[in-house]
Amino acid sequence: MKKLVRNTLTSGVMAVAAISVCTVNAEAAASCPANAVCFYEAADFHGSMYLMTGSEVNSFRVVNFYDGSNANDRVTSIINNRNSKLGVYKDTYGGHYLGYVGANSKVGNLSSKGWDNKISSAYLGSTNSTSP
Ligand SMILES: [Ca+2]
């Protein structure tokens, strides 16, 4: 009888722990710090993320998401918590302008703009291909 009680308690504790871990992960995936730009691998700010603290990414070919995988041509959602527009480009070093994410705004699925898994560079304050 004693053993049965202990097993039941252990299962209950483990179930609670599992729920807590899931909740923490979900919040971490969706959050982006103030004054940063966050690029997510999946739609609706899920999947792995890259946090841009500077004002540009010249080449996503040399940028990895937090999970260690390369971010080039894989960004699917973006949060822009900066006071500048974020210009995004299909090629590295500002080649082939795609469009911009407005200041302090976000795009939950880049496929709505035709940019899904296409971005190779990004510049704050730049909204065309001539001034990256
Ligand atoms: Ca993606």
Torsion sign (Cα): 65, 71, 74, 76: positive
Q: What is the pLDDT of residues 4-14, one digit of tens each?
A: 445 544 444 44
What is the CA(83)–ligand 1 centre distance, in A?
A: 25
Average pLDDT over residues 41-47: 97
What is the CA(34)–ligand 1 centre distance, in A?
A: 23
Cα angle 80-131-92, degrees, rounded to a multiple of 5: 70
What is the CA(119)–ligand 1 centre distance, in A?
A: 10
Write down the domain spans for the chain.
31-124
What is the CA(32)–ligand 1 centre distance, in A?
A: 17
Q: How far apart are CA 13 and CA 1, in angstroms?
A: 19
Query: Does residue 42 have a pLDDT over 60?
Result: yes
| C-alpha dist (Å) from residue 97 to 46, 66, 92, 107, 120 | 25, 26, 10, 17, 10
Q: How far apart are CA 3 and CA 97, in angstroms?
A: 66
What is the CA(67)–ligand 1 centre distance, in A?
A: 13
**Tokens 């200041």 belong to residue:** 103
What is the CA(71)–ligand 1 centre distance, in A?
A: 8
Q: What is the pLDDT of residues 78-131, one digit of tens each?
A: 999 999 999 999 999 999 999 999 999 999 999 999 999 999 999 999 776 554
Class of domain 31-124: mainly beta
Instruction: Provide φ and ψ at 42, rounded to 5°.
Output: -115, 170
